[in-house]
Amino acid sequence: MSRRYLIAGNWKMNGSLSANAVLLSELSLKQDQYSGIDMLVCPPAPYLESVGRQLGGGILLGAQNLSDQTKAGAYTGEVLGEMLAELGCRYVIVGHSERRALYGEDDATVARKFIAAQASGLIPILCVGETLEERESDATEAVLGRQLGAVVAAAGVGAFAKAVIAYEPVWAIGTGRTATAEQAQAAHAFLRGQLAAQDAKIANSTQLLYGGSVKADNAASLLSCDDVDGGLIGGASLKAADFLAICAAAQALSKN
């Protein structure tokens, strides 16, 4: 398996110019130690330009959201993918459960955003995941299959050659409750299997991240699962020491 680890920080709606500068200077000091993995930060949109300037290149830049529109125009409050690319973003998160639950994004919207991201040259990080109720009613695979299937149907399996999938069980996000390594591996294997049913080569190359209360002390066990190729980190990405400890766990497991 030649998939590289990707450790991505989703800052969500957190940060300030001064707090970002402190966090980034601490990350930059250590980034050389993690040359075997990819490190990514996804700050709120207003900070993308200044964060991009401070990163200088070693750590990658991503956005948390984009418009589903593919051309500039009268869409007040929206951000076009090309604008994100112009600021140096390589990645953009789409379909995060907070956007699905709080801002009404359905599978069709998420699929349009995924396509819009790729049309702008951005790598979408497609988030999927079940609620606690869905897990407890044995609907996890049905939900993951539906969420991924909607994007595969709209964009084609070939699109996953340039996409990342993040499995984020909703019940593990910001709760301190983490999926066990077995639960994460099972979900990731299911997702990879869904892609493999259509294209084995693409399935084998697509990076699958786990997200949901990843911390320094559980990172190694999650990242050592065969089908876990990195993490999408919320709370722990806001503290340099915590984020770096997760990067160190990935680096230690990396073959690079």
Positions annotated as catalytic residues are 96, 168
Q: Strands 230-233 and 38-42: what pairing?
A: unpaired
**Least distance (Å) from ligand 13P to the CB of residue 199?**
26
Residue 239 touching ligand 13P (CB under 6 A)? no
15/64 Cα distance (integer angstroms): 14
Residue 212 touching ligand 13P (CB under 6 A)? yes
**Least distance (Å) from ligand 13P to the CB of residue 115?**
21
Site stretch for ligand 13P (CB under 6 A), options 26-34, 106-114, 147-155, 168-176: 168-176
Residue among 14 and 70 whose Cβ is closer to ligand 13P: 14
**Least distance (Å) from ligand 13P to the CB of residue 215?**
8
Residue 219 touching ligand 13P (CB under 6 A)? no
Residue among 127 and 157 whose Cβ is closer to ligand 13P: 127
Residue among 225 and 238 whose Cβ is closer to ligand 13P: 238
Query: Total residues contacting ligand 13P (rule CB under 6 A)?
Result: 14
Which of 173, 222, 248, 250 is in the footprint of ligand 13P by CB under 6 A?
Answer: 173
Using alpha carbons, list the distances in angstroms from residue 232 to 39, 142, 212: 10, 22, 8
Of 244, 239, 90, 235, which Cα lies nearest the Cα of 168? Answer: 235
Residue 66 touching ligand 13P (CB under 6 A)? no
Which of 105, 134, 168, 229 is in the footprint of ligand 13P by CB under 6 A?
Answer: 168
Residue 234 touching ligand 13P (CB under 6 A)? yes
Provide the token pair at 130: 């079940």
Residue 214 touching ligand 13P (CB under 6 A)? yes
Residue 120 touching ligand 13P (CB under 6 A)? no
Which of 63, 84, 122, 232 is in the footprint of ligand 13P by CB under 6 A?
Answer: 232
Q: List interacting residues with ligand 13P (CB under 6 A).
A: 10, 96, 168, 173-174, 211-214, 232-236
